[in-house]
Structure 1
């Protein structure tokens, strides 16, 4: 094959814009449907009903009766209406002949009157707290209601008053005896079993003992909870054999955090109560189930479980029947079906773009997507069963939205993983080959912007350019904002020695930063130049760079070419080695995959641009600190093609220390956010046809991980605040549900596995270099996150030049560089230990929360570690010398260059 035919063949491949049709691919359908069937089976297995619970066919002994409906609470003074109360009484009367109330405030005092004719015996309660005047009014009203209603069979003076410490035993005894004198029914008070054992004087003051048996709060496993309750009951009976004992509250919540070995769910609630009902029937026990209806208003002071003790939901639906199977989530099938459908659509939509992916990759992708969508579906299912205030609903909705964004990120990363590793066809592969002697090639104007760069480094770069094996080129060196003539004059003199192809300009204080310098160079470019080349001041280029890449412009559709950023100082330190492979990963994996959809990121070095295209786009964007990436996106929007070569044609030097490494990535992330804002319509409006779907996909998903870093900062801040609440106020600040905690842990693990897998497949380095690259990237997360927030909401950021070839800092300076991350790391670990020890490492939620905090701390640990590594003494890097060149005639200097 001749050279020209090879170039025509490759550029024809590059210009291909055919959509890949793959909806009918049998292997794609087989993978998606097969995984969906397996996932549905897992859903069914996890949500299988309990069928081994003994049925109960008798009447329920009694209900603790609090008729508050949605939005109602005694704390806010919003009490149920008489219509609501009457409806609830009618529902309770279908299952029992006994109810117990807790207060006569508001319309609750009318319960006995409203219950007339329903066959309900009322145990009337009076609420006592630390306010004597309110207590006196409550007791006066309870006496009045008890005496006026024959259905009141018993009176309760206070509920767990001693347990809360609202009154002393003598004070409560006095209140009880006062009521006993005024009513004609038995009087008691209600307390947990241990209070009765501790205070015989209280037992002696009541007509009967009302004991609370709630083993969940004591962390008793459900399997032995009924027997444990009976043991407590017998202990009280043994101490007071001549006293009648009524179980005032007994039950189990259908939701709530784990307490010791106690697990709150629908099945455990049904099992506990059915077993107890059968036992109570055998033993002829008097009891009140805690409780008839869920009361979520209690969660603010007793925790989440307090709202889920009812046999009926807040909407008055029975949670489970007294006979037959019981499900924790009876509606699971709809969520499973929704997850399966969403997964199928997402899987096929993406696999249709790459039908060439091996079946193993398709199967892996389908499984990952199914797992992610199932997790989100389970979260939504749980939200649908949870009582949320407006504030809580806003928080949970925000978290759910975050999980949705996380789902999108994971799907995008998974597709990138499988198409990179398992893809078989490269449609836009370009293999550069030097043009033969005599080939017609365009004139190239190479622009080299510099600002306070070390003169010896720039001279090396110029020498490598002088050695290019290319006839028609010029080099424009543009120095701006260098105030010290001793820095730029040696460069100007070196240009003069290299001959007329090299022109030097010094602009002094000049606006626009690098983009401003490049726009100046564009105006000074030779009229007959057809291609603009840009390199950084530290790059030593290969002699065949232009001869290999410039022929791509034979295709008029090509707007720019790009070859990898590469580095020549990889042997100086562990830190440099980590950076080297962290940079390499993007050019060996991400850019190759992006090139398949003509969506590469243009970089400000080792790039060639069609001059006409650059001029048509009005040059470089001086408003954007990442003018190179902005230009590439603008050229795509204008319909141009890009050519990417995996072959490296030039090598520069890496940042010398962690601070420079971090500043460089901060600048890139900030600039990317400005680009997102400036191109929002093209990126996010599906009706905007300037970009193809593939280009839009890569530009959005390519920057999405940086948005993830920004969200990581916000989530960590919220996590630290919540941890403080968990330590200082563990009732009000409960642990989030596991479905909110698990994805963040999984995401961290997935990202590490993804990086290692991609590197193993495409990057020529060993295992420890892969690990080092992953750690180096992780160390930048905090800086990237900050840059994203700033880039989204601000417009001005000083140009942060990346210092090169400077002496590495001392160890203490290394720690100082990462001082912000060090403080956050200490706070996060302190919060994790505080929560862990404060909650005695007793529950799964505790361990998961600590694991979440530990996971969130990893980027900060990596930052501190990399900063220390960067500070360690290292041998001097062996820089590659530029080829020697012969002096040439002095060029004509631009007036701005001075004398």
Structure 2
């Protein structure tokens, strides 16, 4: 416990130290004044550009903006109709815009409404902006746009003339009210002096375009009172630190070209969130720095401008991807993002993130290490890994608090977060095993090789055989006849096999080998478990230990002599030796499969053995008969009767032991299809066990120790992780068209970082532990990894079947030339998934013209997710090449 507490405390303090010493929380851009010349304003609700704010909400917004500016830019007549009453009420000014489109009917309505608004609110208008980026969007031709501009110039001039005439008449009427000539002369002089002091209000006409459109169509400048240009360095892919020289260069180009025309920067801004546009990075620090530097620059240079924009517009996510929502200097809840003077806090949740991350890391450390035999180095490295994982968890959890979420994002973020839980547990479990096996304590419970005993208990060895090739079973029985142990019998259980081809040679061999060999030809239900149960009626009454081996295993003579003495301890009910194979060099395919099997028996089983939590396997297994009878013999309600029996023995309080010394060598599956069928059976059976025994894993249950619960639950999570790998692959494939065609990026951390981290940990785990524990070179480690990864889709199907289908039949693993030729491609589904994932990777990479970091990360994740399916294809190619050589 002292090591756990030490690592928990030190790793947590390191996390806190890194947070406290991070320089990214605060920035200090140059101070600017609170006065802003003009701000773009859109009167819409958060999620819908068709839903206007109420009158009260618009008044509220403009009262807030009036603290910074007296002028707003509006983009359509419909917007202006909603906003201008509040502008007039508050004594503000507006650049009123017309939204022109390719649809003539819409333009007619827009023009009619705009003209009525100009008439009503003439004194509160600074300008009328006829069209916004119409030429950029190619909605109208320059000539068509000029027609609209000229029309509005004529209309505004008429209003101006009418207003002038009305003022003149008002002056004349007021003078006429005076009763004598002297008074009229005095009044006329007073009113003329007053009129001379008052500047005539004139509404100017312009159109707004991106700066280069004015250079492409310079004749457009002749039609406007001033030039309105948009300069948005972000969309120009300009780095934040380079915006100022870029702006000055562009502004100079326009002023040099149009020397006699006033110029308004109609849009300038920078987003606070969203994807990067090549070198242009959207971030709170960049927005605050650029806006404040721009305001200082405008005062120094004396140019006119309008900032884009007042408030964030979450609805823009539909049309402008994941960056359009974040251009406001206020967020969508009307909270100012940054002050104009002093330091700026750009990580508003940093203290909460730090606290929660350290706490989660501490919890993961405590529960990950408790009840384990650890040293300080193992505990410390695991604690650091847990803190790193907790940092990722917190960064993912904070995503909805700093981004505007729509339905699609909620779905993807939610799914990613849900999937992050098992991926986190699995990654930490793999990391724990890695640290334990490399820098932790050495194993203590492996069975010693020099056990001695005065006792020689009777062992009944059971060899179930269903349609087994006679030459294979013959090797097994002949090896059993050469055991150095004296007190044993061998029950050869031929079950549900009517063909004499399989039976006759074996029956003859049993007679030849003597009384120790008992030939049984039985019919039963319940598959292998049913056959083993029926054989119990024929065992020697003196039997103390049951032993089970597969029909293809050639046993070492010392198997029983060296392992039976462990049963002198009455609490021992289970002894397991590893599986291995004698045909691993027969082909490259079998070399790969053999390498994959070795990892579990030299790594996982050794570590599980330390906590009395081994998985029982149906070969090289010995069980105390009395304990076996006590817990209910073989169960036929699962297709992994061996593992289920082992768990029942642990639940009954018995002890199991494991040795990683090889005492027997069997045969590998003949084909990839057989390999996949075997793994499907194991994974499906694991889910059956989980469903049957779940109550024993509740915290309140006392049938299993905490360490045993940990190992069994972790083992099941390993199956689930492969299944989840397929689920996340499909989800990510579905999301690709949204990114390409809609331009919406994903919650990167939740859907990519856990997958990439888990993959990296798996690679390190496999290659390091295969080197240190399995003693495999890089070549065999790589083959083992390929074989292991190739099973992902198989395990997904098994886990799915386990939860939705009950009592699938037992499918035997074809070995020793027993497989039948199949014309179906066993990896056709893997080919489909690999093609979709690689195609998605290529499509995202090729269409990522903005070089968006999140898209590259996501496309890399897709490529990583394709590796298991590529591995299956590689294994199939290996199989095909082996068949050609044969």
Do they fold alike, i.e. is TM over 0.5?
Answer: yes
What is aligned with 2:425?
408
What is aligned with 1:594?
608
**Residues 179-578 of structure 1 correspond to what in structure 2 (within 5 A)?**
179-183=152-156, 184=159, 185-354=203-372, 357-424=374-441, 426=443, 428-433=445-450, 435-436=452-453, 439-508=454-523, 510-578=524-592
What is aligned with 1:703?
716
What is aligned with 1:753?
764
* Local SS of the residue matching 1:91: helix
In the TM superposition, what is the alpha-carbon distance from 1:265 to its structure 2 partner? 0.4
What is aligned with 2:35?
59
Q: Does the 8 A contact of 2:468 with 2:818 survive in 1?
A: no
In the TM superposition, what is the alpha-carbon distance from 1:302 to its structure 2 partner? 0.8
Give, in whole Å, the separation in 1 of the partners of 2:272 and 2:323. 8
In the TM superposition, what is the alpha-carbon distance from 1:717 to its structure 2 partner? 1.9
In the TM superposition, what is the alpha-carbon distance from 1:49 to its structure 2 partner? 4.3
In the TM superposition, what is the alpha-carbon distance from 1:186 to its structure 2 partner? 2.0
Give, in whole Å, the separation in 1 of the partners of 2:341 and 2:857. 36
Give, in whole Å, the separation in 2 of the partners of 1:875 and 1:441. 51
Q: Does the 8 A contact of 1:657 with 1:809 survive in 2?
A: no
CA deviation map 1:525-546 (0-9, x unaligned): 3343232211100111223323
What is aligned with 1:121?
93
Q: Does the 8 A contact of 1:47 with 1:327 survive in 2?
A: no
In the TM superposition, what is the alpha-carbon distance from 1:65 to its structure 2 partner? 0.7
Q: Does the 8 A contact of 2:413 with 2:750 survive in 1?
A: no
In the TM superposition, what is the alpha-carbon distance from 1:308 to its structure 2 partner? 0.3
Give, in whole Å, the separation in 1 of the partners of 2:696 and 2:142. 74
In the TM superposition, what is the alpha-carbon distance from 1:741 to its structure 2 partner? 2.4
Give, in whole Å, the separation in 1 of the partners of 2:719 and 2:145. 62
In the TM superposition, what is the alpha-carbon distance from 1:512 to its structure 2 partner? 1.7
Residue 154 of structure 1 pairs with residue 142 of structure 2 = no
Give, in whole Å, the separation in 1 of the partners of 2:5 and 2:336. 41
Give, in whole Å, the separation in 2 of the partners of 1:876 and 1:648. 31
What is aligned with 1:100?
73
Q: Does the 8 A contact of 1:159 with 1:189 survive in 2?
A: yes
Give, in whole Å, the separation in 1 of the partners of 2:128 and 2:807. 72
In the TM superposition, what is the alpha-carbon distance from 1:742 to its structure 2 partner? 3.1
Rg: which structure is higher? 2
**TM-score computed with the length of structure 1 as normaliser:** 0.88
Q: Does the 8 A contact of 1:220 with 1:262 survive in 2?
A: yes
CA deviation map 1:57-93 (0-9, x unaligned): 251111101233434x12xx32211121111111100
CA deviation map 1:542-581 (0-9, x unaligned): 2332333333333333332211112222332333333323
What is aligned with 1:894?
none
Q: Does the 8 A contact of 2:322 with 2:744 survive in 1?
A: no
* Local SS of the residue matching 2:338: coil
What is aligned with 2:167?
none
Give, in whole Å, the separation in 1 of the partners of 2:723 and 2:672. 20
Are the structure 2 counterparts of residues 136 and 874 from structure 1 closer, same or farther at C-alpha, using a change threshold of 3 Å? Answer: closer
Q: Pick one of 647, 651, 664 that aligns with 2:665.
A: 651
* Local SS of the residue matching 2:35: coil
* Local SS of the residue matching 1:550: helix
In the TM superposition, what is the alpha-carbon distance from 1:751 to its structure 2 partner? 0.9
Give, in whole Å, the separation in 1 of the partners of 2:456 and 2:54. 89
Give, in whole Å, the separation in 1 of the partners of 2:772 and 2:25. 45
What is aligned with 2:107?
135
Give, in whole Å, the separation in 1 of the partners of 2:355 and 2:550. 54
CA deviation map 1:752-775 (0-9, x unaligned): 111222223322333433333223
* Local SS of the residue matching 1:188: strand
Give, in whole Å, the separation in 2 of the partners of 1:725 and 1:297. 16
Residue 680 of structure 1 pairs with residue 652 of structure 2 = no
Are the structure 2 counterparts of residues 171 and 507 from structure 1 closer, same or farther at C-alpha, using a change threshold of 3 Å? Answer: farther
In the TM superposition, what is the alpha-carbon distance from 1:840 to its structure 2 partner? 4.7
* Local SS of the residue matching 2:228: strand
Q: Does the 8 A contact of 1:563 with 1:607 survive in 2?
A: yes
Are the structure 2 counterparts of residues 639 and 70 from structure 1 closer, same or farther at C-alpha, using a change threshold of 3 Å? Answer: farther
In the TM superposition, what is the alpha-carbon distance from 1:672 to its structure 2 partner? 1.3
Give, in whole Å, the separation in 2 of the partners of 1:426 and 1:722. 46
* Local SS of the residue matching 1:115: helix
After the TM superposition, which of the residue ranges 371-380 and 461-470 deviates more from structure 2? Answer: 461-470
Give, in whole Å, the separation in 2 of the partners of 1:129 and 1:495. 92
* Local SS of the residue matching 1:703: helix
After the TM superposition, which of the residue ranges 573-582 and 849-858 deviates more from structure 2? Answer: 573-582
Are the structure 2 counterparts of residues 799 and 721 from structure 1 closer, same or farther at C-alpha, using a change threshold of 3 Å? Answer: same
In the TM superposition, what is the alpha-carbon distance from 1:725 to its structure 2 partner? 4.2
What is aligned with 1:856?
865
Residue 42 of structure 1 pairs with residue 18 of structure 2 = yes
Give, in whole Å, the separation in 1 of the partners of 2:884 and 2:478. 26
What is aligned with 1:14?
none
* Local SS of the residue matching 2:543: coil
Q: Does the 8 A contact of 1:669 with 1:784 survive in 2?
A: yes
What is aligned with 2:649?
635
What is aligned with 1:895?
none
Give, in whole Å, the separation in 1 of the partners of 2:368 and 2:412. 32
In the TM superposition, what is the alpha-carbon distance from 1:738 to its structure 2 partner? 5.4
Q: Pick one of 702, 709, 732 that aligns with 1:689.
A: 702
What is aligned with 1:773?
784
* Local SS of the residue matching 2:770: helix
Are the structure 2 counterparts of residues 275 and 619 from structure 1 closer, same or farther at C-alpha, using a change threshold of 3 Å? Answer: same
What is aligned with 2:180?
none
Are the structure 2 counterparts of residues 871 and 806 from structure 1 closer, same or farther at C-alpha, using a change threshold of 3 Å? Answer: farther
After the TM superposition, which of the residue ranges 91-100 and 320-329 deviates more from structure 2? Answer: 320-329
* Local SS of the residue matching 2:462: strand
Q: Does the 8 A contact of 2:377 with 2:440 survive in 1?
A: no
After the TM superposition, which of the residue ranges 36-45 and 644-653 deviates more from structure 2? Answer: 36-45
After the TM superposition, which of the residue ranges 111-120 and 299-308 deviates more from structure 2? Answer: 111-120
